Amino acid sequence: MEIFNLDSIKTYPYEERGKNVFFKVNEFKTRIIKLLPGENIPECEMASYVIFIVLEGEVEIKVNTDKANLVKNQCLITEPSLISMQSKNGVKIVGIQIIKNL
């Protein structure tokens, strides 16, 4: 068992996103994503299921051709897809990637 304090996990910019992973096993990995106002994550082909949980702020997420705005305490779950996101005012998210097939 491991307990993580999501408020105190250090975050890194998109270019160093690998450092944002705070737990990883063969089946899934979990990371903190923090976007400052105006920042975005470009389109990324995800081969895994993804769960996004907004801890603070707001973000627009595009999944394939669908768009949704997520705010604090909302959660999005998606199958493997093309995903991008942008935040006008900043956001902090937990992202969980779950392997589709082992």
* Every domain of the chain and the residues it spans: 14-98
The whole-number average pLDDT for the span 35-52 is 96
- Is-above-0.85 flag for pTM? yes
- Among 56, 46, 57, which Cα is nearest to 96's? 46
Homologous superfamily (CATH) of 14-98 is Jelly Rolls (2.60.120.10)
Q: Which of 59, 10, 12 is nearest to 37 (CA)?
A: 59
Confidence at 102, pLDDT banded by 50, 70, 90: low
Q: Model confidence at 54, in pLDDT bands (50, 70, 90)?
A: very high
